Amino acid sequence: MRFDTRLVHVGQEPAQGTGDVSPPLHLTSTYAHGAQVQPAYFYARGENPTREALERALAALEEVRFATVFPSGQAAGATALATLAGAGRAIVSDDVYGGTHALLTSFGLDVRVVDLADPTAVAEVFADPWADDALVWVETPTNPTLKVADVAEVSRRAHARGCVVLVDNTLAGPVFQQPLRWGADVTLYSTTKSVAGHLDVLGGALVHDRADLHELFVTHRTTTGSVPSPFDCFLVHRGLKTLSLRTVRQAATAEKLAAALRESPHVGEVRYPGLPDHPGHTLATRQMSGFGPVLGFRYRGDVAALLRRSRYFTDAVSFGGVRSLAQCPAATTHRSVPTDLRERLGITDDLVRLSVGIEDPADLLEDLMGALDPA
């Protein structure tokens, strides 16, 4: 069964007894033991058929056995940190989502922030015995500067030190990148973004192929009660079915917008892995099958005014949804990142991040070019 067929069929088998082509939504908190042919369901914090159907579908995307879903990407990340950072140490991509920085701080770990897109920095950090048994948290492409890390090389060096490698694949999404195939141990998703795709639900997931990690994640989720509702699982699963259709369209439009932005006198640097002069373009071409719906650029003007002028790019955080969004990361998603790190990474007040939706590409291009130049 190929990828696009798995999107539609896995976890969506017609219901036994009634034949529902769309599986029923199991809105229950508990289960009658005597009504079950083979008792498998005890309490909904631990088991729910709607949740399990989504987990089967997400695991199938990377052709592995396990996925564990959560009420948000942050909840998935918190579970990963609680269960995988047993040595109390973590090696983390320098340019990660702002919420990830906050999460790492709250766990009180000994963290080394490393440019994992730089092969020299990768070699140096794993040459140090300090790295032994650390959790390695990779984000690629990064949010919002879109740096690209070599998952295979990072995983090779990390595993030699006994590390577990987690890749936050939220920005690329499973259509364009599958980290487990390149050696990572766990893929993290905020399913809120491209996987669900309709800006109407929160969700998160950890995808992997290790039975020991599956037991750790499920036990922690059940014990802490970090479970998504059946209805939220239903919404994520519904969105998943059109994932390829949406994201291929979005990436094609993003590439056109990136090329147009490079020609504008109102724009400085444009960051998009699909551009031939992007520092990670060659690696992205090898590691990814497409370049995703997100791009960044530096605006030579008033960013707040630019966002107000746009008709079709809504000034809002998040990305990967059907509606196009635009925001200034320095003022929103990354405002909690330490100022010195933010400035070093180039997450400054002139940086604009676009999340390209499924609107007509011509409308988005006209709108963006018009907003850049108010004259």
SS (H, E, C) 83-137: HHCCCCEEEEECCCCHHHHHHHHHHCCEEEEECCCCHHHHHHHHHCHHHCCCEEE
pLDDT at residue 174 in the model: 97
Give the domain CATH number at 99.
3.40.640.10
Taking every pair of Cα atoms in the chain, the longest distance, rounded to a whole number of angstroms, is 72
Considering the domain architecture, whether residues 102 and 210 belong to the same structural domain is answered as yes
Do 85 and 178 fall into the same domain? yes
pLDDT value for 67: 98
Same domain assignment for residues 109 and 223: yes
**What phi and psi, each to the nearest 5 degrees, are found at residue 53?**
-65, -40
Same domain, 86 and 45: yes
Q: What are phi and psi of 250, to 5 degrees?
A: -65, -45
pLDDT above 70 coverage of the chain, percent: 100
Where in the sequence numbering do the catalytic residues fall?
A: 45, 97, 168, 193
Tens of pLDDT, residue by residue over 323-375, are 999 999 998 888 878 888 888 888 999 999 999 999 999 999 999 999 999 87
Residue 141: is the preceding peptide bond cis (ω within 30°)?
Answer: yes
CA 299 to chain centroid: 26
Q: How confident is the model at residue 18 (pLDDT cuts 50, 70, 90)?
A: confident
Structural domain for 285, as ranges: 243-372
The domain boundary, picked from 240, 256, 276, lies at: 240
Of residues 211 and 102, the one with the higher pLDDT is 211
| Same domain as 209, residue 277 | no
Same domain, 222 and 247: no
Name the token pair of 254.
Answer: 């993003």
The pLDDT assigned to 105 comes to 87
- Same domain assignment for residues 212 and 332: no
Tokens of 63: 């052709």
- Mean pLDDT score across all residues of the chain: 95
Strand partners, 229: none
> What pLDDT shows up at residue 304?
96
Task: Tell me: do 234 and 271 sit in the same domain.
Answer: no
What is the distance of C-alpha 268 from the center of its chain? Answer: 27
Do 318 and 191 have their domain in common?
no
Domain end (from 208, 240, 272): 240
Task: Kindly tell me if the per-residue pLDDT of 197 is higher than 90.
Answer: yes
Q: In the numeric block, which tokens belong to residue 156? A: 């090779």
Place of tokens 């579908």: 57
**Rounded (10°) angle between helices 151-160 and 119-127:** 10
Q: What share of the chain is helix, strand, coil (3-state, %, to 5)?
A: 40, 15, 45
What local confidence, expressed as pLDDT, does residue 14 receive?
83
CB 196 within 8 A of CB 239: yes
* Same domain flag for 232 and 264: no
Same domain for 137 and 11: yes
Among 188, 216, 240, give the residue marking a domain's end: 240
Q: What is the mean pLDDT of residues 126-133?
A: 97
Write the DSSP symbol of residue 320: S
The CATH number linked to 250 is 3.90.1150.10
Identify whether residues 236 and 259 lie together within a single domain: no
| Residue 16, CA distances (Å) to 9, 13, 22, 257 in order | 15, 9, 11, 47
Instruction: Look at 23-27, 89-93, 111-115, 356-360 and tell me which has the smallest mean pLDDT.
Output: 23-27
Cα-flanking dihedrals φ and ψ of residue 303, to 5°? -60, -40
Check the CA dihedral 270-273-278-280 and report its sign.
Answer: positive
Residue 313 has pLDDT above 80, yes or no: yes
Cα-only R_g, the chain = 21
Quote the pLDDT of residue 147.
97
pTM of this structure: 0.95
Q: Compute the distance between CA of residue 95 and CA of residue 82 in angstroms, rounded to an integer.
A: 21
Query: Looking at the 3D structure of the chain, how many domains does it have?
Result: 2
Q: Is the pLDDT of residue 265 over 80?
A: yes
User: pLDDT per residue over 276-291, tens digit each?
Assistant: 999 999 999 999 999 9
